[in-house]
Amino acid sequence: MERFNQTIEELYREMIQIDSLQIPCRELRDQGMALFREKGIPHGKMEKWRHKAIDTLLVKPDQPFKPYLIQTEPSPYQPIDQVFKCEIKNIGTISYHLLNGWYIHQNKPLDIRDNGVIVGSINAAYQQFPELVSHYFNQLDPEKQDGLIALNQALFTDGIFIYVPDNVVVETPIQIVSLVDTLQKLMIQHHHLVIVGKNSQLSLVHCNDSVHEENSFINNILEINLEANAQLHYYKMENKDAQSILVNNTFVNQAADSRFTSNMITFNCGYVRNSLEVHLKEEGSDANLYGLYLVDRKQYIDNQVNVIHHVPHCTSNQIYKGIADDEAGANFSGHIYVAKDAQQTAAYQINRNIALTDEAKITTRPFLEIYADDVKCSHGATIGQLDENAMFYLRTRGICLRNARMLLMFAFANEIANLVLIEKLRERLNDMIKRRLSGELTICDQCMMNCADKENLIYDIDTTRLRS
Amino acid sequence: MLKIQNLHVSIHGKEILKGVNLEVKRGEVHAIMGPNGTGKSTLASVIAGKEIFDVTEGSITYKDKNIFDLSIEDRAREGIFIGFQYPVEIPGVSITNFMRTALNEIRAYRGLEPLGAAQFLRLMEEKKKIVELQSKLSERSVNEGFSGGEKKKNEIFQMAVLEPELAILDETDSGLDIDALRVVANGVNQLRNPENAAIVITHYQRLLDYIIPDFVHILFDGKIVKSGPKELAMELEEKGYDWIKSEYEQSKLIGK
């Protein structure tokens, strides 16, 4: 770990030297670095990391250490529509792209629409709208921050900024595609910010993909703020290669009567940790948190869900389902916290898992912490196998073992995909689930939205821009 | 077409079938009757391929093939259909998807092209009429939330779609009201032809008012103790199972 920490110190020095960013990042970097020195990378003796340690993934004990790199400036612009053979358009979204840590654009770092909606680089947004951005940016409780959040603060490069003013319904979903395409061992720290104003509505599709086998470590922060009566549907898609490490820290703040729906879908990964923290801060707010993970080989997926009911009359509902094949692993930790005065809370949680082999390892950890006395809370967690009776029944109709398993697994996974409201995305997902379960959808299918072929690397990185 | 010889089957060391002999030829309908717990459903399950049973002795051949050499799905593909007493609920699997997968796998086994979507849907609509199924099957999961009657109708519907050569209906009449019974029986009768055969397992005689069998067998204590024409069912209904029981006990005594 010493070598790793050394690398971080070096990268930090480099970042503050070349800082061209407009966010008052120096202060944030210093704070983050100080906190990182104190906390370090989380390790397996910490409760929240007990089931799977990340330190031994970042620095593999049995291999010589090769330092991570940061790409310190954006890649040159390439017309994404032409090189990115992606079906993104087919799901009817307007997409914005990040590549190797940077927002990709053609002399238009911010898309400012007529209705006041702003989408673009967080750095550019700060330059143009410093008050708006700084009001919401990095509003994290320092007490609760771990070493990875500190690391992001110390080394972050860019991120997406989305602002929907009051009383605007954004008709066309916005899609963020965060790509990693490099043969280098890259470390990427995004810090995204989403603000949905009063009575406004937005659907956001967020894809984390890698273009080819690489060793990247991606450590994101996403802050979401929903003002009164705002609605956000957040779809998170993850299809990463087996070497990558992806950590997402998502924080959601909800004002009165706002509604947040998330759907975290992980098809392939090396190691993915989705940490989702939702604060129901004003009455009438509602959070629906769904998740689906399909992992095999040696993949590992960790979903950490934290719902905090601060005030009365809020509702939350968690449904996470997953299938682990081969030697894959999955963890679900679902924490519901109901504060002392948060009466009339309704909070539910379900986690269902299927372990297909004896070697697949699944942990599920429901945790309810309730200090109010007039609440409705429930949780249910199961880890099981495919229903033998159903398998038999299907086979007596002439369906082979493999297809019988497929039908049952698809039925299991389909429940979550059917909660996706964007019709084309839902159809696409169901198709991908089928292909994933039949072993056809691998990282070779390129990104989540099934883009280019492996022969043509989409973005060739100019390695002279990489400093080690 | 089906030949069962001296079949002995046990589960967890307990012998349930103790030497069953039965031969079914094309065009025939056989009824197997008997009191509860005498092994009627076990017989159906063993033919289907349920793995929890141990076959300790005897043989089953189907179309001159040793049935135990065939996987569960291959038995179905060879034309055996089991209508279950307790059909399994499979949430999330639509009936359409289920039947299409099944039918096309069976067709592939027989060297036939898969049915296209339109052709398949036409077939579904046609077969639905046979069992008077009203609901939109594409939107419903297999047996999920079905009433007892609907589940049984769904079994007959599946049979109609898959067009088996040998249908074994295990207590298909249990739990049915008189209307559902008529629908189910009509379904079976419509599918009857000289090339096919059926075994109807039932506890009561009333189903046999609708499906007229060629032979009636009485299964008792793991053996077929009496076989006869359709009138045997009437006699059984009249005299009750005690009649068989006492006759059987007597024969046992004589045997000693």
Give A-chain residues touching B105 at CB under 8 angstroms: 398-400, 403
Give B-chain residues touching A403 at CB under 8 angstroms: 101, 105
Give A-chain residues touching B98 at CB under 8 angstroms: 394, 397, 399, 407
The structure tokens listed for B118 are 């339109």
Residue A393 to residue B88, Cβ atoms within 8 A: yes
Q: What is the mean pLDDT of residues B23-49?
A: 93
Which residues in chain B (6-25) have CB-CB distances under 8 A to chain A? Answer: none
Please provide the CATH number assigned to the domain covering B2-255: 3.40.50.300
Q: From A418, which residue of chain B is nearest by alpha-carbon distance?
A: B92
**Helix crossing, B95-109 with B117-130: angle to 10°?**
110
Q: From B163, which residue of chain A is nearest by alpha-carbon distance?
A: A397
Report DSSP letters for A388-447, one per residue. HHHHHHHHTTT--HHHHHHHHHHHHHHHHHTT--SHHHHHHHHHHHHHHHTT--SGGG-S
**In the prediction, which pLDDT does A194 show?**
98
What's the complex ipTM? 0.94
Give B-chain residues touching A398 at CB under 8 angstroms: 73, 76-77, 102-103, 105-106, 109, 162
Report H helices in A355-400.
388-395
Out of B76, B90, B97, the one facing A398 most closely (by C-beta) is B76
Out of B90, B92, B162, the one facing A414 most closely (by C-beta) is B92
Q: From B143, which residue of chain A is nearest by alpha-carbon distance?
A: A390
Give B-chain residues touching A395 at CB under 8 angstroms: 49, 71-73, 76
Domain ranges of chain A: 2-386
Closest-CA distance of chain A to residue B57, Å? 23
| Sign of the four-CA dihedral A83, A84, A85, A89 | negative
Kindly report, residue by residue over B37-79, the tens digit of the pLDDT: 889 999 999 999 998 999 999 999 999 999 999 999 999 999 9
Top residue of B88, B97, B100 to mutate, by most chain A CBs within 10 Å, is: B88
Task: From A2, A158, A145, A148, select the one nearest A70 (Cα to Cα).
Answer: A158
Residue B102 to residue A399, Cβ atoms within 8 A: yes
Give B-chain residues touching A402 at CB under 8 angstroms: none
Residue B102 to residue A398, Cβ atoms within 8 A: yes
Q: Which residues contact A236 (CB under 8 A, 6 or more apart)?
A: A206, A208, A248, A262, A263, A264, A265, A274
| Sign of the four-CA dihedral B147, B151, B156, B157 | positive
* Measured CA angle at A312 (ends A310, A313), to 5 deg: 125
Task: From A288, A346, A347, A294, select the one nearest A319 (Cα to Cα).
Answer: A288
Q: Does B88 touch chain A (CB under 8 A)?
A: yes
The structure tokens listed for A243 are 């070497």
Per-residue pLDDT of chain A (468 residues; tens, 9 = 90+): 888 999 999 999 988 887 665 556 788 889 999 999 999 999 988 888 888 888 888 888 888 888 888 888 887 776 655 445 444 446 778 889 898 889 988 788 999 999 999 999 999 999 899 999 999 999 988 778 899 999 999 999 999 999 999 999 999 999 998 888 777 888 999 999 999 999 999 999 998 766 555 678 999 999 999 999 999 999 998 877 777 889 999 999 999 999 999 999 998 778 999 999 999 999 999 999 999 999 988 899 999 999 999 999 999 999 999 999 999 999 999 999 999 999 999 999 999 999 989 999 999 999 999 999 999 999 999 999 999 999 999 999 999 998 898 889 989 998 999 999 998 888 888 888 887 787 665 543 444 333 333 333 333 222 233 332
Give A-chain residues touching B92 at CB under 8 angstroms: 410-412, 414-415
Residue A411 to residue B93, Cβ atoms within 8 A: yes
Kindly report, residue by residue over B109-145, the tens digit of the pLDDT: 999 999 888 899 899 999 988 888 776 766 788 998 8
Q: From B84, which residue of chain A is nearest by alpha-carbon distance?
A: A393
